[in-house]
Structure 1
Amino acid sequence: MTDRTCECCGSVANLPADAESESESTVDRWLGDASVMETSLPDDVQTAMTTFFDGASITTLEEWVAELRRQTGGGSIGIEELCHADGETDHWGELDGTRYDFQCFYDAVALAELAARPVEIHTRSPDGTAIEARATGTGDLTATPSTAAVSFGVTTDESLPDREPTLEDTYATICPSVNAFPTREAYEQWAARTQAATVGMPLSAATVVATGLVEE
């Protein structure tokens, strides 16, 4: 389908070992498995997303997706616009017997929704734990282990462009903060150690955001 390569994705820096993270003590970052698109985001996630869009008010993932689509042309992304990797990675999906390697595992979720066909998803959490999932392409996803979680958020450490964001800008901001984890507790431990402003949700809910990004 495409050989396009995305080289814009980095990683999230850890906080100093002695830093007292707001994530650990005062912020509930878990969205649960219902209405994740409409749930109000933590203040730091709202601030990071608002900063990325140069002041556009963002309070929910639904508003984030709507603003992202507005500022990048309004339509659905295509399979060729996913964050493909040059060579094999820890994040890949298998569609109709073809392997697609990505910089970020979430693109394999989006691949299923774009193709409207099942995709077998393989990824590793930041601590190296292997996680597998099957996205049906019709909005459903099952994961192994069944307790698997996903993080979603943005990083704004880098200087932002003085223009409306491109897809490449978006990948560079989102990809480092999107990971799969074997459990909610593993996500929360990671969130407390990193500089990314994120929320967590069951991996089974991951297709909700992907559907918002790719639906016509």
Structure 2
Amino acid sequence: MSNQTADCCEQCSATASTTEGGTTARRADGGQRATTEYDTATPADRWLDEPVLAGTLPADLAATAAAFYGVERVETLGDFADATRAAAGGAIDPADLCHTDGPSPHRATAGDDTYQFQCFYDGLVLARLRESAIDIETVSPGGTPIDLYVSDDGTVDVAPSGAVVSFGVAADAPTTGDPTAEQVYGAVCPQVRAFPSREAYMAWAAATDAPTVRLSLAAGLPVAASLIGRAPRPDGNS
């Protein structure tokens, strides 16, 4: 792992602390959640149907992302993935992911190899980098185990079946444009979380000030492919 990657992974470890009931929440900097303009989108506005990369982002997330990345507009999840990839330094390989030295709740197993990650989403990125069967395990912010298995042909099985993933940008992300890779990890990674249901996501979202959007966990694989600059599979699975 390069020194730059190690620095970025330090930013990955700064995540929100919540329950799925939404009763407690602290920002990574220890501050309490404040009521902001980010509360205006309805739950329906924060769900993306497939094809998710073409899905229109909620207005608050679109505006926050555009200001953070220093681009004219970030209207879709595909735009968001493109801007994230460019700001994070472009192409990556497995060594660039945020590995941990010890056990983690975020794991990926491929054949005889098991990878431990600081961030849940690194497992999905690894699935697209390897293009082989992989089992990804994570734990939601409220402690619920979630499992995603990607077969060799790209077929995806998720348990629980209604699991979702969130994407977003920290509300206090810098707005000077041209963010460093470390700033990207720090602003985006804590908002990329897995949840056992839409309801669990909504409880978490209600307890954080970050503008986010949600989609099915299986639909997160095309986003992972876009983040590493690969086209989704022709069958649409990932």
TM-score interval w.r.t. the shorter chain? 0.7 to 0.9
Structure 2 equivalent of residue 61 of structure 1? 77
Measure the CA separation in 2 of the matches of 1:63 and 1:139: 23
Q: CA deviation at 1:26?
A: 6.9
Residue 28 (1) aligns with residue 32 (2):
no
Mean Cα displacement is larger for which, 115-124 or 5-14? 5-14
Match of 2:202 among 152, 173, 188: 188
Structure 1 equivalent of residue 10 of structure 2? 7
Match of 1:41 among 57, 75, 79: 57
Measure the CA separation in 1 of the matches of 2:69 and 2:51: 23
One-letter code aligned to 1:180: A
C-alpha RMSD over aligned residues: 2.8
One-letter code aligned to 1:164: D
Q: CA deviation at 1:126?
A: 0.6
Match of 1:172 among 175, 181, 186: 186
Match of 2:98 among 83, 100, 103: 83
Give aligned-pair identity as a percent: 37
Mean Cα displacement is larger for which, 197-206 or 91-100? 91-100
Rate the CA distance shift 1:214–1:189 in 2: closer, same or farther, 3 A: same
Aligned-partner SS, 1:77: coil
Structure 2 equivalent of residue 125 of structure 1? 140
Structure 2 equivalent of residue 213 of structure 1? 227
Q: CA deviation at 1:208?
A: 1.0
Q: What TM-score do you get using the length of structure 1 for normalisation?
A: 0.85
Q: CA deviation at 1:93?
A: 0.7
Measure the CA separation in 2 of the matches of 1:156 and 1:17: 10
Rate the CA distance shift 1:71–1:170 in 2: closer, same or farther, 3 A: closer
One-letter code aligned to 1:106: Y
Rate the CA distance shift 1:168–1:17 in 2: closer, same or farther, 3 A: closer
Mean Cα displacement is larger for which, 102-111 or 53-62? 53-62
Counterparts of 1:143-162 in structure 2, within 5 Å, are 143-159=158-174
Rate the CA distance shift 1:78–1:165 in 2: closer, same or farther, 3 A: farther
Match of 1:110 among 115, 118, 125: 125
Contact 2:170 2:210 in 1 (8 A): yes
Structure 1 equivalent of residue 157 of structure 2? 142
Aligned-partner SS, 1:120: strand
Q: CA deviation at 1:24?
A: 7.3
Contact 2:69 2:177 in 1 (8 A): no
How many matched pairs?
Answer: 213
Structure 1 equivalent of residue 21 of structure 2? none
Residue 200 (1) aligns with residue 214 (2):
yes
Alpha-carbon deviations, 1:67-90, whole Å to 9, x = none?
A: 2333445x4221111122232211
Give unpaired runs (5+ residues) of structure 1: none
